[in-house]
Structure 1
Amino acid sequence: MTERFRIAVVGSGPGGLSAAARAAERGIPHVLLESEAHLSNTIYRYQKGKHVMDEPGILPLRSPLPFTAGSREVILGAWDDGVAALKVNVRHGAEVTAIKKQEAGHFVITTRAGTYEADNVILGIGLQGNIRKLGVPGEDLPFVQYQLDDPDEYAGETIVVIGAGDAAIENAVALSKQNEVIIVNRRDEFARAKQGNLDLILKHIDDGSITCYYGAAPEKVEALSVGRKPGRIVLATPKGRAQILCDRVIGRLGATAPRGFVESTGVQFPSKDPASVPAISPQYESNVKGLYIVGALGGYPLIKQAMNQGYEVVEYILGEKVEPADEPLLRDKFKNMPGFSTVEAALKRVQDNVRLLSHITPLQLREFMLDSDVRTPKQGDAVFRRNDYTNSFYCVVDGTVEVEVNAETGQRISLGRGEFFGEMSLISGRRRSASVFAGPGCVLVETPRRSMTKLINSVAAVKREIDLVFITRAIQQRFAPNTASADLADIVADAEICKYQADEVLFGEGDPGDSLHLVRVGSLTISRNIGGREIVLSYVPAGNYVGEMALLGDSTRSATARAAVATETVRLGADAFKKLLARDPGLRLQLQAEYRQRAAANLAMQQAGRGADIISFLMQQGVGEATDVLLIDESLCVRCDNCEKACAETHKGTSRLDREAGPTFANVHVPTSCRHCEHPHCMKDCPPDAIHRTPDGEVFIGDNCIGCGNCERNCPYGVIHMSGRKEKKPGLLSWLMFGSGSGPGEAPYAKDSKASEKKAVKCDMCKDISGGPACVRSCPTGAAIRISPEELVGYAQSRN
């Protein structure tokens, strides 16, 4: 006879285990079906001795089973004890092969060990059976693996770990004790990692026990027939290709839902995207009534969240009303939204109104909103202004905003409910390209850069939609300001996003003119070969375009375009560009005028001689990603060090400038001083979010710095250092009478306070001083200047 239960739980991961434990605690007829001979196979397969964290710390735990941060073994032991004490009805070796809902309303669950019936089914099966592989040739070679059970099994090896999530970090750190470990991060930061793991990996990278390749990706893995190593991996890095001889490659790239099995139960996915998760209600119920989904399969991979869901879903099945653990936090977020009644209604309003957020589940939306803020500006208020250096992202929930695309004419376009803005600065790192003002009834969701980047990296459908809008608006802004988005659909469809590593060529001098490039991220140099030498003619930052000269004249390329730093462009083919010209006769005249200006500027630069070499030198120093850089004319500098002294005097005894350090070419010296990069490296992975950017562009460190040193490690230019608070400088009378401290024109007083903790310090461009940077103002000969990369060509010409 087939056994029948009120609740059948499939899978004993944290969510399923918690659900079964709550059912047992409530005395509900239940069964927990587990394919393995042990509980919680996901946790069981963690590497031995792994420290498991209990994030998010702000959430309380709701479960009959205990869970606090600790080792894998301790946590599994506590769960085994709890399951035994509660007398949870566990059936091991019961791999589920089918779940079918009957006309009578109950479910028939078929396993390899028998058949069961249940009124309700809770899926807690996780993602571990569908591991993502490298996706390159050689991904299945014998020395490539996708799981690490015991890091102590390996010693004296060179091991490459691919991935940037928690599993990759934990594997890399554990292996580094007795191996040479290289971790490969496709991004330029560890955006998806828990805070504890983030701190851990950065510490190991800093002390040299782990080598990290940022912005890198595998191209292929090859077996070697000779040599001491069994193989090698070839990486595409921002500096070109890198080959690493290695003993082992471990891919930790996450997993995808077991879609075939889940869909066979009748559960629907919102899209065909392999990374999408099933659509479920706030009560965790799928489109199949009575079938619930908790944990990683529902888009919530954190253990505490999954355990809370397991507890809550049982309460929902029993008809109880239970407030989600994050409800009070979200209620506080929404309290100022006009018409706010309940969190559930507010979340539904946001998701119904904003198409971009329709790609994520209601549960993912809750997490997204915890990171965001609801804004209700008054009509006419500025959300941000043109040339601001902010980079948060906005969704319009209700009302409208007015985008001022031309400040001189006052031309504005309106964005209404469901649209979003702020993507151009989010992606490019450049100043805001337009001013935005609130319209009537305006309700916005503002999301910080880090959270938006995490969402873009996690949900492919979100990335695709933002990219599509970015391309459309970039074309509108540069070439078709009076053309509606719908009328550009055919041109946008032909555009593509291209990526280039530093020093990679987009097109070469003499190549056929087949496309135009809008610079989306990074910057380019334009050069010509003159007398056997490559002469840099101009610098092209994000937000500008190159390649139109050859298209306007149907000729070959007159110069070479090269990425100054890692760069992304929107490529428009010749046919698409000609469609734009055909639709707007005035556009050709405008571009021809710009063409003549560029040609004249390029001709002047060709005659600049040494000026072109100066630009090449500055590009080599990374000035291409700067927004403001300090330069010193060595022919004028008298080495008085007034610049350093003034910096120290302005900043309580600690100078942010090292005049002597840094390279020099043709009397142009680049001292060690902050460049206020487009995408500041220092802002990545700052635990207290202490590093900010003012609307004018100055990057500064707030008083909430905790002295972790992440920014110092992340800065590639050595412009940040840790310093204690300096004691107050004695007054002039004390110096005159007792010789205390330093006098006028002497080195600044720099005695650390004994009670002071060291914190990060860097140039803030004297942002609170109306006269501007003290280093420039104090220079008696005018040797010190601060310029933006856009001014480099003019500066180089003046040096000729």
Structure 2
Amino acid sequence: MVPGSVKIAIVGSGPAGLSAAARAAELGLSHVLLEAESWLSNTIYRYQKGKHVMAEPDVLPLRSPLAFTAGKREAILEAWNSGTAKLGVNVAHRARVSAIGGQKGAFTITLDGGATLQAEAVVLGIGLQGNLRKLGCPGEDLDWVQYQLDDPDEYKGETIVVVGAGDAAIENAIALAENNKVYILNRRDEFDRAKPGNLSGILKAIEDGKLTCLYNTKPVAAEDTPSGKRLRVATNDGETELAVDRVIARLGATPPRAFVESTGIQFPSKDPNSVPAVSAQYESNVPGLYIIGALAGFPLIKQAMNQGYEVIEFIEGRTVEPADTPLLRDKFAVLPEITDIEEALATMQRRVPILKPLTPLQMREFMIDSDIRAPADGETIFELNDYTDTFYSIVSGTVEIQVDPADPSKKFTLGKGEFFGEMSLISGRRRSATVRAGEKCVLIETPRRSMNKLINSVAAVKRVIDEVFLRRIIQGKIAPTLPPEEIADLVSSAEVRQFRPGEVLFNEGDAGDALHLIRKGSVTVSREIGGKDVVLAYVPAGQYVGEMALVSDLPRSATARAAVATETIRLDGVAFKDLMMRRTQVRDRVQEVYRSRVAQNAVAQARPMGDVLEFMMSQGLGEATDVLLIDESLCVRCDQCEKACSDTHGNVSRLKREAGPTFDHLHVPTSCRHCEHPHCMKDCPPDAIKRAPNGEVHITDACIGCGNCERNCPYGVIQMGIQSKTRPSLWRWMLFGGEEPGRYHPAKKDKSAKKATKCDMCKDLDGGPACVRACPTGAAMRASPEQFVKLYRGGR
């Protein structure tokens, strides 16, 4: 029943609203919980039957009169139903709110049908499920395209495509795969928004062949054709068509903006994904009108329930420390002068423009993922050519960027509010400069995974990073001495282009209309000689191609193709030529590269390497930073490389000499490639895989043995097992057989937890990789793609 007047009206009975109403009832406050449906918590109610609901984040305590622990959907709903009944929560079912007006102390809430009630304060916990995102392509409203799954057991023997990479899509796909043929479409190359449990589940299901994942794939059209239902999709390898029975799209939802804005609440931007800004007490710009839960940007159940408890305390005028404050206080421990966490967070947002689009609640989550650093004056943050990939925001002070170690004069300063580290974050390549702290420098250091999550969820952040990346890479590679205004026209002409493996950037004989800066991936340059396509060069991320035709004003002299999935920045040829005409230093710099390329191409034509380079690309050279190679003409099969690896790494060899493919005399054993964007680092729940400053990708003791890295590695170079305390000698093994030295073959009764292991390039040893040092004939070598090209052409 809807009362005529209450102190607190709570709209929506999701986890946040339920918790708020339960706390109000517990305190004996006049309240009403308005729910549009005939049941509580419609979002949880609409979960698929039998769904396991997680209680995350683990580090947060629960604050609520209602119980909540991880478990099945049905058990959680039953606990909440009985809990609200026991507390005497005043629930009004079938009470859909159509309007909210008035002001603090005197709000008028209008329901469908015209009934009204008065409230001193209003708490919005309405969630987002009424505004589901659709496919965004023709056919999105066909009757076999749906956006909800109630009971996966209803479907049997069908071919179903699940579109999405979040928790709902993963859970739907896994459940449907029990009785159906299932594809899951992921627009990106990893499940970076999933909870750890779901992450492990989907990767295991893919590995076991229970379902098929199409990465970097998006729907183009859903169509009814004479031959049946079809979903056309775009992949890295081109467009393809899937015969389907149904499509289930789980793409999240957007805030019910029209309704929310009608109450007077403002959104920080026009971005459809933006959420209303609220204070640390969850109060919106309308005094007395509060927002909690998913609508405030926090969809996790435990967070929402904590907010429901806390908002009632705030309305009652009590001071309550948010549940995450102790975690934030630990972050700020390096700045002992900080006593007020709320003010410190607000100050950081004011000082760092890239963080301004975040709501205060999003800012708290961002800071929990990040670290605060206060380096000493002159301290090195990272060195040129380091392989670290964290992102830095400057809160105060300055940093000095040294771009050329041979010329100390080539440096510039970044100050308060700016950021750096975006080059390695985006390209996966080595650091492009050395950075040192200035006086009174304070930095926010954010891990790659957390930064990518922010970029993918807040469009304004991505836009700013992309703009700065464009300007800085153009300055760094083409015009390092020019101020930003001098290259403004060139920057404005820039377009980000994406290419699938093997796709052509430009063809031999084309007009030179643009220059391509390689932002991610790598490119091969080839020329037709004697009717055959001959590869002349390999060009990695951070370099550019296409300058030769612009300098010479002749047609393209070669064809450029993406070696792997590649992203470039296309610079308009007219704007580029205009800059060269105006600035001699730019022209001289480009002409120097041009002359070098002409010389390289002459050498390449004398010793073509098309077939061997194609072979190496198939073995991951295009995305590698370091590959172990064995010259079969020199190798005597002594296995000293494996023995040295085993001796160095606790009786566990990280390479298999005999395994792996061979081309001509070149053998690629099973050993880590240390990829630019390591596949193994994706979807690592404990973030246990790190990249050392020199580029070595290694696994730390934080490994929990989930096996995600082993499943994600396309080259089979990661092992799961238990480190052996002893091993037979090499000669004993060769003579009598038995367990291979250094391999993972634990006894069946051994209950020790398995861990992941892989080559770490002997990063902690002087002298380089033990396998290379132990080779008596010099057959083993480790090389970057660039070094390999030079070695091969030199007749290694």
Q: TM-score, normalising length from structure 1?
A: 0.95
Q: How far off its partner does 1:731 sit?
A: 8.8
Q: Find the aligned partners of 1:731 and 1:714 in 2 and give their Cα distance.
A: 33
Aligned to 2:590: 591
Change in 2 beyond 3 A, CA 1:769/1:16: same
Mapping of 1:484-503 within 5 angstroms?
484-503=483-502
Tell whether 2:796 aligns with 1:795: no
2:128 maps to 127
Q: CA shift at 1:486, angstroms?
A: 4.5
1:705 pairs with 703, 706, 709, which one?
Answer: 703
Q: Which amino acid aligns with 2:155?
A: Y
Matches of 2:574 and 2:364, distance apart in 1:
44
Write out aligned runs for 1:189-204 (5 A): 189-204=190-205
**Contact preservation (8 Å) 2:36, 2:93:** yes
What CA distance in whole angstroms lies between the structure 1 residues aligned with 2:110 and 2:744?
Answer: 75
Q: Helix, strand or coil for the counterpart of 1:528? A: strand
Q: Does 1:666 align with 2:642?
A: no
Matches within 5 A, 1:250-399: 250-337=248-335, 339-399=337-397
Corresponding position of 2:719:
721
Q: What is the CA–CA distance in structure 2 between the aligned matches of 1:779 and 1:401, rounded to whole Å?
A: 44
Q: 1:187 aligned to 2:172?
A: no
Counterpart residue type for residue 794 of structure 2: S
Q: Which moved more, 1:665-674 or 1:720-729?
A: 720-729
Cα distance in structure 2, aligned partners of 1:449 and 1:671: 30
> Which residue number in structure 2 is paired with residue 534 of structure 1?
533
Structure 1 Cα separation of the partners of residues 102 and 538 of structure 2: 64
Q: 1:503 to 1:90 in 2, by over 3 A?
A: same
Which residue in 1 is equivalent to 2:629?
631
After superposition, the Cα gap between the structure-2 partners of 1:60 and 1:605, relative to the gap in structure 1 and judged at 3 Å, is same
Q: 1:494: Cα distance to partner?
A: 2.0
Cα pair 2:105 2:121 within 8 Å, conserved: no
CA distance in 2, matches of 1:795, 1:764: 23
Between 660-669 and 283-292, report the one with greater CA deviation. Answer: 660-669
SS at 2:356 equivalent: helix
Deviation at 1:506? 1.0
Q: 1:753 to 1:717 in 2, by over 3 A?
A: closer
Q: Tell me what 1:233 maps to.
A: 231
CA displacement at 1:398 relative to structure 2: 0.8
> In structure 2, what is the equivalent of residue 472 of structure 1?
471
SS in 1 for 2:118: strand
Whether the aligned pair in 2 keeps the contact of 1:387 and 1:432 (CA below 8 Å) is yes
Query: What whole-Å deviation, never above 9, does each CA across 1:572-596 have from its counterpart, x for those lacking one?
Result: 1113212432442121122112101
Provide the C-alpha distance between the structure 1 equivalents of 2:673 and 2:544, rounded to a whole number of angstroms: 24
C-alpha displacement of 1:484:
2.7
Structure 1: 5+ residue runs without aligned partners?
Answer: none
**Inter-CA distance 489–99: structure 2 relative to 1 (3 Å threshold):** farther
Distance 1:523 1:238 in 2: 15
Question: Which of these residues, 782, 786, 793, is aligned with residue 786 of structure 1?
Answer: 782
**For residues 432 and 95 of structure 1, do their structure 2 counterparts lie closer, same or farther at Cα, with a shift above 3 Å needed?**
same
Give the Cα–Cα distance (whole angstroms) in 1 for the partners of residues 382 and 344 of structure 2: 25
**1:36 partner SS:** coil
Structure 2: which amino acid aligns with 1:342?
Answer: D
Partner SS state of residue 172, structure 1: helix
For 1:64 and 1:652, the matched residues in 2 are separated by 51
Distance in 2 separating the partners of 1:38 and 1:29: 22
- Which whole-Å CA distance do the structure 1 matches of 2:482 and 2:250 have between them? 45
1:747: how far off?
A: 6.9
Does the C-alpha gap of structure 1 residues 345 and 245 become closer, same or farther in structure 2, counting only changes over 3 Å?
same
> Residue 352 of structure 1 aligns to which amino acid in structure 2?
R
In the alignment, the residues of structure 1 paired with residue 491 and residue 199 of structure 2 have an alpha-carbon distance, to the nearest angstrom, of 38
Shift of 1:323: 0.6
Distance in 2, Cα, partners of 1:116 & 1:533: 81
SS at match of 1:364: helix
State how far apart, in whole Å, the 1-side matches of 2:527 and 2:473 are. Answer: 27
Q: How does 1:395-410 map to 2 (within 5 A)?
A: 395-410=393-408
CA contact (8 A) 1:65 1:82 kept: yes
Matched with 2:206 is 205
> Which amino acid in structure 1 is aligned with residue 785 of structure 2?
P
Cα distance, 1:705 vs structure 2: 2.2
8 Å Cα contact 2:653-2:742 kept in structure 1: no
After superposition, the C-alpha distances for 1:312-369 in whole angstroms (9 at most, x for unaligned) are 1111111000010011111111122253011101111111111111111000111111
CA contact (8 A) 1:280 1:298 kept: yes
Q: Secondary structure at the match of 1:335?
A: helix
CA distance in 2, matches of 1:390, 1:785: 24
2:763 to 760, 764, 767: 767
Structure 1 pair 209/752, CA: closer, same or farther in 2 (3 Å)? closer
Provide the secondary structure at the position in 2 that maps to 1:726: coil
What is the CA-CA distance between 1:634 and the residue it aligns to? 1.8
- Superposed, 1:593-742 pairs within 5 Å as 593-609=592-608, 611-729=609-727
TM-superposed CA distance for 1:372, in Å, is 0.6
Cα distance in 2 between the residues matched to 1:432 and 1:207: 38
Moved more, 159-168 or 404-413: 404-413
Q: Is the 8 A contact 1:520 1:542 kept in 2?
A: yes
Could you say what secondary structure the match of 1:359 adopts? Answer: coil
Q: What is the aligned-residue identity percentage?
A: 63
Alignment of 1:548-587 (within 5 A): 548-587=547-586
Aligned-partner Cα distance in 1 for 2:757–2:421 = 29
Q: Decide whether the 8 Å contact of 1:479 with 1:580 is kept in 2.
A: no
Q: Matched residue of 1:656: which SS?
A: coil
Q: Does the CA contact (< 8 Å) of 1:333 and 1:373 recur in 2? A: yes
SS of 1:589's equivalent in the other structure is helix
Over 3 Å counting, the alpha-carbon distance change for 1:750 and 1:622 in structure 2 is closer
The code of the aligned residue for 2:168 comes to: A
Do the aligned partners of 1:38 and 1:92 also contact (CA within 8 Å) in 2?
yes
- Is the CA contact (8 Å cut-off) linking 1:612 and 1:796 kept in structure 2? no
CA distance in 2, matches of 1:347, 1:203: 39
Q: Which residue of 1 aligns with 2:418?
A: 419
Identify which range, 597-606 or 757-766, moves more after superposition: 757-766
How far residue 423 of structure 1 moved from its aligned partner, in angstroms, is 0.6
Go from structure 1 to structure 2 and tell me whether the alpha carbon gap of 1:317 and 1:757 turns closer, same or farther (over 3 Å shift): closer
Partner of 2:24: 23
1:38, CA displacement in angstroms? 1.1
- Between the aligned partners of 1:750 and 1:101, the Cα distance in structure 2 is 72
**Is 616-625 or 356-365 further displaced after alignment?**
616-625
Cα distance between partner residues in 2 of 1:540 and 1:172: 39
Q: How many residues align?
A: 789
- Offset from partner CA, 1:377-424 (integer Å, 9 cap, x none): 000000111111100011001111111122222122111111111010
Matched residues in 2 for 1:91 and 1:407: separation?
70
Matched letter for residue 239 of structure 1: D
Q: Retained in 2: the 8 A contact 1:742–1:748? A: no
C-alpha distance in 2, partners of 1:153/1:208? 22
| Maintained 8 Å contact 1:727/1:750 | no
Quick one: which amino acid aligns to residue 111 of structure 1? L
Shift of 1:224: 2.7
Conserved 8 A contact 1:5-1:29: yes
Cα distance, 1:455 vs structure 2: 0.7
The answer as to whether partners of 1:614 and 1:796 remain within 8 angstroms in 2 is: no
Q: Deviation per CA, 1:485-507, whole angstroms, max 9, x where unpaired? A: 34434432221111111111111
Indicate how the Cα distance of structure 1 residues 749 and 322 shifts in structure 2: closer, same or farther if over 3 A, else same: closer
Preserved CA contact (<8 Å) 2:721 2:746: no
Partner residue in 1 for 2:106 = 106
1:36 aligns with 2:37: yes
Larger deviation, residues 82-91 vs 352-361: 82-91
Does residue 115 of structure 1 match 2:116? yes
Shift of 1:639: 2.2
Segments of 5+ residues of structure 2 without an aligned counterpart are none
Task: Name the CA distance, whole Å, in 2 between partners of 1:645 and 1:747.
Answer: 10
